[in-house]
Structure 1
Amino acid sequence: MSLTDTAVKNVKPGDKTARLFDGGGLYLEVAPAGGKWWRLKYRYDGKEKRLSLGVYPDVSLKDARQRRSDARKLLADGVDPSENRKAVKAAKTERGANSFEVIAREWFAKNSATWSENHGSRIIRRLERDIFPWIGGRPIAEIKAQELLATLRRVEERGAVETAHRAHQNCGQVFRYAIATGRAERDPSPDLKGALPPVKQSHHAAITDPKAVGDLLRAMDGYQGAFVTKCALRLAPLVFVRPGELRRAEWTEIDFDKAEWNIPAARMKMREPHLVPLSTQAVEILRELHALTGDGRYVFPGARSNGRPMSDNAVLAALRRMGFAKDEMSGHGFRAMARTILDEVLGVRPDFIEHQLAHAVRDPNGRAYNRTAHLAERRKMMQLWADYLDKLKVGAEVIPLCA
């Protein structure tokens, strides 16, 4: 006789394990402790075997009968249900091990040691926020271009077009890593070329008019905020490095005898060491600051802890406090200021300027210049620039000079 829902629900445990049969090999096993398991008894290759179909009441009588039917179909096709279950479980485990998130984190771990801390943090945060929630659990070999595009569209739709493009680039790097390690056959990211709207080019706000530069320099000299921030403000136009490179400067990198600042590759955008010749004005600022922060690691330590560099917002906030608007001047603006005036007003050779900006500059034979290329000329340029800024600061007539 077949079982009923009422009989299954009301059966009480006894002193020994009891079995209630439903037919077709399906039965309910009731343990003395009260547990109820669905089992299927079947024969395969002449041997009697048993297959667990779940626990009651999580698996109802109806569900157990459906599982019995599925197992019987496998047997009819010559497949052992027990072995099939093992194979499915192994496949799921393998799929999980080869998911996009697992491989992306492996790729990140292998590459992040060569990146700056901030760069690495931005990449993993971007993946965790915008990619993993949607395709992180998917087997990487099964992800198609349309699925990747749908994920990137979520980023685009919140107005973060540049972030969408960067996420697209990172996903491509992960797919190529999966191909190299034998866990995917192709990278679908190139199929999305042109699918995302282009990023609107925006330039960092910068003051490049010499007269206005003089006003800015005088305002910075009169800055009433923290002394460390004031020194960073005064040094920024003299060295025109990127804001992150400036605020993370360490005293071990400063050579007062040679008047040089040697920035290691790990902190540079181009991952190449960079040498900044220091003008006499820059050395004077650094010596003055050394008396205050020279015992610590950072030239510009944070306001709350000497063990960390100043906030990446410190210089920007100081500019705003002095009345320079967001669309007027930025931390990056000191680089554009130097590039424009050195070229258009002072007539310095563009390759000297670009090299000092730590841009990718190559010689006529296509070889990348090293950190000491044209060092003598760059020393002269940096001193020329510092002297010119002094003239602007005192309001002297702006007269083009020769490099």
Structure 2
Amino acid sequence: MGKLTVKQLESLTADDVGRKLFDGEGLYGRVRAQKTGVVVTFEYRFKQQGRTRTAACGKWPNESLKGIRKTRDEKQALVDAGSDPVEQGRVEKLRKQVEEAQAVERHQAELARMAAENAARRTFKDAMSQWERAELSRRKDGGKESMRAIEKDILPVLGEVALVDLKRSMLVDVLDGVVDRGARVMANHLFGDLRQFFNFALAREWVDAHPLAGLTKEKIGGRQKERERYLSEEEIIDLKQRLPSANLLHTTELSIWIMLSTCCRVGELSQARWADLDIDKGEWSIPAGNSKNAKEHTVYLSDFAKTQFQALKTLTGDSDWCLPSRDGMDHICLKSISKQIKDRVRDEPLSNRTKATGALLLSGGAWTPHDLRRTGATMMGELGVIGEVIERCLNHVEQNKLKRIYQRHELKTEQRDAWRRLGDRLALLLAADEQENVIIGRFAKTA
């Protein structure tokens, strides 16, 4: 039988699949079909220690017929020398696998070295930018407030320092500087953000240890005292009498009474749309995106609150927003109402701001929009509303996990009654300067 020729191999078709082709001297091939077309896999058959064995020699046309024969000759030489080409093939394959594994290991070591170098070059500012994109951007305000404070106090001092070189003393020195200028609360906010940032960095192995581990806010800005300020009923009456001379926007005056009678947050009112309100039905739906705890909340409006919203609608009803910005394209700035009130309870006026300094300073001292929320809740309690209902009116999340999971009753009727009681009392108080028979006092809570 003659040897195979390249021409014979090239003439093979799908009809030849399964055929066995012999080339002599133990070399033969099998015709197979693959996606690329017809191929021939060649093997070398030999005898060793009385056993017939085969060893792969290659695949045509991936390899030339000449090359396949050369491989057969090499294996035949191994047999003649008493070696097993099959075992030699296995050894060679294992050697290649070891070399590939070593190459991968070297590659990984090089990547680790490059990562270490990059980490050493990563500045605090660069790392902060990554944290802002990955974590801070998920916050309700997109992390703007935190980054504003960080860019003001932290980055100008430490921004260009390599992250791996940052020490606790360096960070604390900056925070102490914030405390020294009297901004203890801001120092604590910065400390909280830095702790979160370094947890983020530690999880990514950018740093080997948390530089602020073991520190607490008490050791930075000091324990923050919870505000207890709320307006007494005498102060509420006084507030009404002071408002005309305070030179406030009429929309802000109405906002004060709305916040007091609904116990809402200033940000929730600032972002309210008329589409969220059904004044006739007496309901205000605060979207989850506007509430502090990201939970939708319904306020059941008292007659007093309805009156304030109706008055507000005569002023801003042409806008989508209850409190529109000057151009009407958006709601007012979230800090607008707070700034207007703060200007009127401070001791000295700021430049280019209202001259009505102290116009709204009450007998109990300075107050904020959030104190109106606390005042409304306090009045509800004094009017006999139970604590659980007040918490629902405030849209607070139940702290007890079991109660939160299993007690789903929303107490809607009780909430509606609580707001009614508050509204009725406010209406009575604000009529006090017109009537002589209004009694101002504290009322015992009902069981």
Q: How would you bin the TM-score normalised by the shorter chain?
A: 0.5 to 0.7
Please give the secondary structure, in 1, of the residue aligned with 2:125.
helix
CA displacement, residues 305-331 of structure 1 (integer Å, 9 cap, x when unaligned): 553415232344567748221724322
The answer to whether structure 1 residue 389 and structure 2 residue 389 are counterparts is no
Q: Determine if contact 2:283/2:300 at 8 Å carries over to the other structure.
A: yes
Q: Determine if contact 1:115/1:266 at 8 Å carries over to the other structure.
A: no
- Residue identity (%): 24
Deviation at 1:103, TM superposition (A): 2.1
Distance in 2, matches of 1:271 and 1:350, equals 22
Tell me the equivalent position of 2:261.
238
Task: Specify whether residues 197 and 292 from structure 1 end up closer, same or farther in structure 2 by C-alpha distance, changes over 3 A only.
Answer: closer
Give the structure, 1 or 2, with the largest relative contact order (CA under 8 Å, sep 6 or more): 1
Choose the corresponding residue for 2:186, options 163, 172, 175.
Answer: 163
The answer to whether structure 1 residue 273 and structure 2 residue 309 are counterparts is no
In structure 2, the gaps of 5 or more residues are 1-111, 347-355, 433-437
The answer to whether structure 1 residue 107 and structure 2 residue 131 are counterparts is yes
Choose the corresponding residue for 2:398, options 348, 361, 365.
Answer: 361
Corresponding letter in the other structure for 2:120: R
In structure 1, the gaps of 5 or more residues are 1-86
Please give the secondary structure, in 2, of the residue aligned with 1:392.
helix
The answer to whether structure 1 residue 332 and structure 2 residue 370 are counterparts is yes
Q: What does residue range 176-255 of structure 1 map to in structure 2 within 5 Å?
A: 176-193=199-216, 195-201=219-225, 203=227, 205-208=229-232, 210-220=233-243, 225-255=248-278
Which of structures 1 and 2 has the bigger CA Rg? Answer: 2
Task: Specify whether residues 371 and 149 from structure 1 end up closer, same or farther in structure 2 by C-alpha distance, changes over 3 A only.
Answer: farther
The answer to whether structure 1 residue 398 and structure 2 residue 424 are counterparts is no
Tell me the equivalent position of 1:70.
none
Task: Specify whether residues 187 and 158 from structure 1 end up closer, same or farther in structure 2 by C-alpha distance, changes over 3 A only.
Answer: same
Deviation at 1:334, TM superposition (A): 0.9
Choose the corresponding residue for 1:256, options 253, 261, 279.
Answer: 279
Deviation at 1:374, TM superposition (A): 1.7
Task: Specify whether residues 163 and 315 from structure 1 end up closer, same or farther in structure 2 by C-alpha distance, changes over 3 A only.
Answer: closer
CA displacement, residues 130-163 of structure 1 (integer Å, 9 cap, x when unaligned): 1112222233333232222222222222222221
Deviation at 1:258, TM superposition (A): 3.9
Corresponding letter in the other structure for 1:188: P
Please give the secondary structure, in 2, of the residue aligned with 1:332.
helix
Deviation at 1:301, TM superposition (A): 1.8
Deviation at 1:287, TM superposition (A): 2.7
Distance in 1, matches of 2:378 and 2:371, equals 11
Please give the secondary structure, in 2, of the residue aligned with 1:373.
coil
Deviation at 1:270, TM superposition (A): 2.5
TM-score of the aligned structures, taking structure 1 as reference length: 0.67
Choose the corresponding residue for 2:319, options 293, 296, 300.
Answer: 296
TM-score of the aligned structures, taking structure 2 as reference length: 0.61
Distance in 2, matches of 1:243 and 1:137, equals 38
Task: Specify whether residues 177 and 216 from structure 1 end up closer, same or farther in structure 2 by C-alpha distance, changes over 3 A only.
Answer: same
Corresponding letter in the other structure for 1:201: K
What's the Cα RMSD here? Answer: 3.3
Choose the corresponding residue for 2:120, options 84, 89, 95.
Answer: 95
